[in-house]
Amino acid sequence: MALVDSGGQAVAECVVVDARRHGELLAQGIAAVLGDAGVDRRDLGAVVVGLGPGPFTGLRVGIVTAATLGDALCIPAYGICSLDGLGAGERVAMTDARRREIYWARYDTDGTRVSGPHVSKPGDVIEQLRGVPVVGFGAQVHAEALVGLDVRPEPKYPSAPALVERAVALLGSVPEPLVPMYLRRPDAEQPGPPKRVTA
């Protein structure tokens, strides 16, 4: 979470890496960032949220929080692909998709996304990614499967100020609906009809 001024500079930021406590930590983090910056939530001009790709629960918590803030404060809420927040310039941004897979996207020298987001097995994409710096926690988790690629140690995680920087071009426009990028079906599925039991 970060509060960014109209010039694009981060005024306050709170970073917590904990994949299982989104619901507990997000509201506290927002309050901490506003408090650190000495800003009231009614002073906000827009909300920016990462749309993923990512796990079902984490995305839902972030997107619902952003939509709620936007609605409550009557300000726009903009969604950005979370991989766009992993650095600048030519690169492949990669996060861990679990199940021995990665979420990834490729960017050109201007930092424009030219491919993705995708979900793949790490070994299936090595030839496509040779010669391009690879960033993100997913590349570090799957380093053994990515031998031969230019894996960089930083950045590991998407940056909130970088996501806001991507959203600057959208300011003043009507926001698109906040639709999460899951890239695959959730593990939980609705049960089928009950089995018929006859005597």
Q: Using one digit for the tens of pLDDT, what is the confidence trace for 173-195?
A: 999 999 999 887 655 566 777 77
pLDDT for res 70: 95
Are 54 and 16 contacting, i.e. CB atoms less than 8 angstroms apart? no
Residue bearing the bigger pLDDT, 96 or 185: 96
Q: Same structural domain for residues 72 and 93?
A: no
Q: Using one digit for the tens of pLDDT, what is the confidence trace for 9-49?
A: 777 877 777 666 666 788 888 888 899 989 899 999 999 99
Cis peptide before 117 (omega within 30 of 0): yes
Q: Using one digit for the tens of pLDDT, what is the confidence trace for 98-152?
A: 889 999 999 999 999 999 999 999 999 999 899 999 999 999 999 999 999 999 9
Beta bridge partners of 3: 12
Q: Same structural domain for residues 77 and 95?
A: no
Domain extent, residue 38, equals 2-82+158-170
Pairing of β 10-13 and β 101-107: unpaired
Are 23 and 60 contacting, i.e. CB atoms less than 8 angstroms apart? no
pLDDT for res 26: 85
Using alpha carbons, list the distances in angstroms from residue 18 to 34, 49, 67, 133, 157. 21, 17, 22, 26, 12
CATH number at residue 114: 3.30.420.40
Q: Same structural domain for residues 78 and 91?
A: no
Structural domains in the chain (count): 2
Q: Same structural domain for residues 36 and 129?
A: no
pLDDT for res 58: 79
